[in-house]
Amino acid sequence: MTICFNKKDLLEEQAIEEFAGVYKKCGYSVLYTSAEKEEGIRELHELLDGKTTAVAGPSGVGKSSLVNRLQPNVQMETGSISRKIERGKHTTRHSEIIPIAADTYIMDTPGFSTLYIPGFEKEDLQNFYPEFKEYEPYCRFKGCSHISEPDCGVKEALAEGKISPLRYENYKLLYEELKDVKKY
Protein backbone atom coordinates (compact mmCIF):
# COMPACT_ATOMS: atom_id res chain seq x y z
CA MET A 1 0.00 0.00 0.00
CA THR A 2 1.23 3.45 -0.90
CA ILE A 3 0.46 6.69 0.89
CA CYS A 4 0.67 9.81 -1.26
CA PHE A 5 1.82 12.99 0.46
CA ASN A 6 1.13 16.09 -1.60
CA LYS A 7 2.63 19.59 -1.22
CA LYS A 8 6.15 18.25 -1.19
CA ASP A 9 7.27 21.76 -2.16
CA LEU A 10 6.40 23.01 1.33
CA LEU A 11 8.72 20.57 3.12
CA GLU A 12 12.47 20.72 3.71
CA GLU A 13 14.44 17.82 2.25
CA GLN A 14 15.29 16.56 5.75
CA ALA A 15 11.65 16.51 6.84
CA ILE A 16 10.71 14.67 3.65
CA GLU A 17 13.15 11.88 4.44
CA GLU A 18 12.25 11.67 8.12
CA PHE A 19 8.55 11.49 7.40
CA ALA A 20 8.94 8.88 4.66
CA GLY A 21 11.15 6.82 6.98
CA VAL A 22 8.45 6.67 9.66
CA TYR A 23 5.85 5.28 7.26
CA LYS A 24 8.22 2.96 5.41
CA LYS A 25 9.15 1.33 8.70
CA CYS A 26 5.46 0.56 9.20
CA GLY A 27 5.31 -1.25 5.88
CA TYR A 28 3.84 1.45 3.65
CA SER A 29 5.28 2.79 0.45
CA VAL A 30 5.44 6.55 0.28
CA LEU A 31 5.04 8.80 -2.73
CA TYR A 32 5.58 12.53 -2.52
CA THR A 33 3.91 14.79 -5.04
CA SER A 34 3.53 18.46 -5.68
CA ALA A 35 0.47 19.33 -7.72
CA GLU A 36 1.71 22.89 -7.73
CA LYS A 37 5.21 22.20 -9.02
CA GLU A 38 4.07 19.17 -11.05
CA GLU A 39 6.34 16.72 -9.25
CA GLY A 40 5.70 13.01 -8.82
CA ILE A 41 2.73 13.09 -11.17
CA ARG A 42 4.18 10.55 -13.61
CA GLU A 43 4.92 8.16 -10.72
CA LEU A 44 1.38 8.64 -9.45
CA HIS A 45 0.01 7.86 -12.92
CA GLU A 46 2.01 4.62 -12.94
CA LEU A 47 0.71 3.60 -9.52
CA LEU A 48 -2.90 4.16 -10.54
CA ASP A 49 -2.59 2.48 -13.94
CA GLY A 50 -5.35 -0.04 -14.65
CA LYS A 51 -7.14 0.63 -11.38
CA THR A 52 -10.04 2.64 -10.05
CA THR A 53 -8.91 4.72 -7.11
CA ALA A 54 -10.58 7.21 -4.80
CA VAL A 55 -8.61 10.03 -3.23
CA ALA A 56 -9.08 10.44 0.51
CA GLY A 57 -7.77 13.07 2.84
CA PRO A 58 -8.51 16.18 4.84
CA SER A 59 -9.90 19.25 3.12
CA GLY A 60 -7.24 21.39 1.49
CA VAL A 61 -4.44 18.84 1.00
CA GLY A 62 -4.72 19.16 -2.76
CA LYS A 63 -6.78 16.16 -3.85
CA SER A 64 -8.61 18.06 -6.61
CA SER A 65 -5.38 19.78 -7.65
CA LEU A 66 -3.82 16.33 -8.14
CA VAL A 67 -6.82 15.10 -10.10
CA ASN A 68 -6.43 18.13 -12.38
CA ARG A 69 -2.79 17.20 -12.97
CA LEU A 70 -3.70 13.59 -13.69
CA GLN A 71 -6.38 14.61 -16.18
CA PRO A 72 -5.67 18.00 -17.71
CA ASN A 73 -8.96 17.84 -19.62
CA VAL A 74 -10.97 18.40 -16.45
CA GLN A 75 -10.77 21.33 -14.10
CA MET A 76 -12.09 20.34 -10.71
CA GLU A 77 -12.67 23.35 -8.51
CA THR A 78 -9.90 23.99 -6.00
CA GLY A 79 -10.01 26.29 -3.01
CA SER A 80 -7.51 28.16 -0.93
CA ILE A 81 -6.71 27.31 2.67
CA SER A 82 -8.40 29.45 5.32
CA ARG A 83 -5.68 31.38 7.11
CA LYS A 84 -7.87 31.81 10.14
CA ILE A 85 -8.60 28.16 10.86
CA GLU A 86 -5.56 26.83 8.91
CA ARG A 87 -7.73 24.31 7.12
CA GLY A 88 -9.33 23.72 3.77
CA LYS A 89 -12.74 25.12 3.00
CA HIS A 90 -14.46 21.94 1.83
CA THR A 91 -14.38 23.03 -1.78
CA THR A 92 -15.30 19.65 -3.29
CA ARG A 93 -18.89 18.90 -2.36
CA HIS A 94 -19.58 15.72 -4.30
CA SER A 95 -17.66 12.72 -5.57
CA GLU A 96 -16.91 12.47 -9.25
CA ILE A 97 -15.27 9.69 -11.19
CA ILE A 98 -12.89 10.72 -13.95
CA PRO A 99 -11.17 8.58 -16.61
CA ILE A 100 -7.43 9.29 -16.67
CA ALA A 101 -6.12 6.49 -18.92
CA ALA A 102 -7.28 3.20 -20.43
CA ASP A 103 -9.12 1.25 -17.70
CA THR A 104 -7.93 3.81 -15.19
CA TYR A 105 -10.21 6.01 -13.17
CA ILE A 106 -9.81 8.39 -10.29
CA MET A 107 -12.59 9.57 -8.03
CA ASP A 108 -12.32 13.03 -6.54
CA THR A 109 -14.04 13.12 -3.15
CA PRO A 110 -14.90 15.76 -0.56
CA GLY A 111 -12.23 16.23 2.10
CA PHE A 112 -12.97 15.46 5.70
CA SER A 113 -12.10 17.24 8.92
CA THR A 114 -12.67 14.33 11.31
CA LEU A 115 -12.32 10.59 10.95
CA TYR A 116 -15.96 9.63 11.09
CA ILE A 117 -16.86 6.51 9.13
CA PRO A 118 -20.19 4.85 10.02
CA GLY A 119 -19.53 1.50 11.64
CA PHE A 120 -15.85 2.23 12.26
CA GLU A 121 -15.23 1.85 16.00
CA LYS A 122 -12.30 3.14 18.02
CA GLU A 123 -11.33 -0.50 18.63
CA ASP A 124 -10.81 -0.94 14.85
CA LEU A 125 -8.25 1.84 14.68
CA GLN A 126 -5.26 -0.21 15.83
CA ASN A 127 -5.65 -2.50 12.81
CA PHE A 128 -4.28 0.39 10.78
CA TYR A 129 -1.12 0.50 12.88
CA PRO A 130 0.47 -2.80 11.81
CA GLU A 131 3.67 -1.92 13.68
CA PHE A 132 1.79 -2.23 17.03
CA LYS A 133 1.04 -5.93 16.42
CA GLU A 134 4.31 -7.47 17.54
CA TYR A 135 4.12 -5.71 20.92
CA GLU A 136 0.51 -6.62 21.71
CA PRO A 137 1.44 -9.97 23.28
CA TYR A 138 3.18 -7.93 25.99
CA CYS A 139 0.00 -6.02 26.92
CA ARG A 140 -1.43 -7.24 30.24
CA PHE A 141 -5.02 -6.93 29.04
CA LYS A 142 -6.54 -8.63 26.05
CA GLY A 143 -8.15 -5.98 23.86
CA CYS A 144 -5.81 -3.33 25.25
CA SER A 145 -6.38 0.03 23.58
CA HIS A 146 -2.78 1.09 24.31
CA ILE A 147 -4.08 4.39 25.67
CA SER A 148 -4.43 4.27 29.45
CA GLU A 149 -4.05 0.63 30.47
CA PRO A 150 -1.12 -0.32 32.70
CA ASP A 151 1.55 -2.76 31.49
CA CYS A 152 0.98 -2.00 27.84
CA GLY A 153 3.45 -3.54 25.39
CA VAL A 154 2.84 -0.84 22.80
CA LYS A 155 3.52 2.00 25.23
CA GLU A 156 6.66 0.21 26.40
CA ALA A 157 7.83 -0.10 22.80
CA LEU A 158 7.09 3.60 22.37
CA ALA A 159 9.20 4.44 25.43
CA GLU A 160 12.05 2.33 24.02
CA GLY A 161 11.87 4.18 20.70
CA LYS A 162 10.67 1.13 18.79
CA ILE A 163 7.42 2.78 17.80
CA SER A 164 7.39 6.22 16.20
CA PRO A 165 6.04 8.95 18.53
CA LEU A 166 4.49 10.59 15.46
CA ARG A 167 2.50 7.48 14.70
CA TYR A 168 1.51 6.92 18.32
CA GLU A 169 0.38 10.54 18.77
CA ASN A 170 -1.71 10.28 15.60
CA TYR A 171 -3.22 7.07 16.91
CA LYS A 172 -4.15 8.75 20.19
CA LEU A 173 -5.62 11.76 18.43
CA LEU A 174 -7.79 9.63 16.15
CA TYR A 175 -8.78 7.35 19.03
CA GLU A 176 -10.05 10.33 21.04
CA GLU A 177 -11.88 11.59 17.98
CA LEU A 178 -13.63 8.25 17.48
CA LYS A 179 -14.47 8.11 21.18
CA ASP A 180 -16.17 11.50 21.04
CA VAL A 181 -18.26 10.55 18.01
CA LYS A 182 -20.02 7.97 20.16
CA LYS A 183 -21.48 10.61 22.44
CA TYR A 184 -23.74 12.07 19.78
Ligand X SMILES: Nc1nc2c(ncn2[C@@H]2O[C@H](COP(=O)(O)OP(=O)(O)OP(=O)(O)O)[C@@H](O)[C@H]2O)c(=O)[nH]1
**Which positions from 60 through 99 interact with Mg ion, judged by CB under 5 A?**
63-64, 91-92
- 34 is a contact residue toward Mg ion (CB under 5 A): no
- 71 is a contact residue toward ligand X (CB under 6 A): no
- 70 is a contact residue toward ligand X (CB under 6 A): no
Write out the chain in H/E/C secondary structure: CEEEECCHHHCCHHHHHHHHHHHHHCCCEEEECECCCCECHHHHHHHHCCCEEECCCECCCCHHHHHHHHCCCCCCCCCCCECCCCECCCCCCCCEEEEEECCEEEEECCCECCCCCCCCCHHHHHHHCHHHHHHHHHCCCCCCCCCCCCCCHHHHHHHCCCCCHHHHHHHHHHHHHHHHHCCC
- 43 is a contact residue toward ligand X (CB under 6 A): no
Residue with smaller CB distance to Zn ion, 55 or 139: 139
**Which positions from 129 through 168 interact with Zn ion, judged by CB under 5 A?**
139, 144, 146, 152, 154
- Of 3-11, 116-124, 131-139, 146-154, the window that binds ligand X (rule: CB under 6 A) is 3-11
- 80 is a contact residue toward ligand X (CB under 6 A): yes
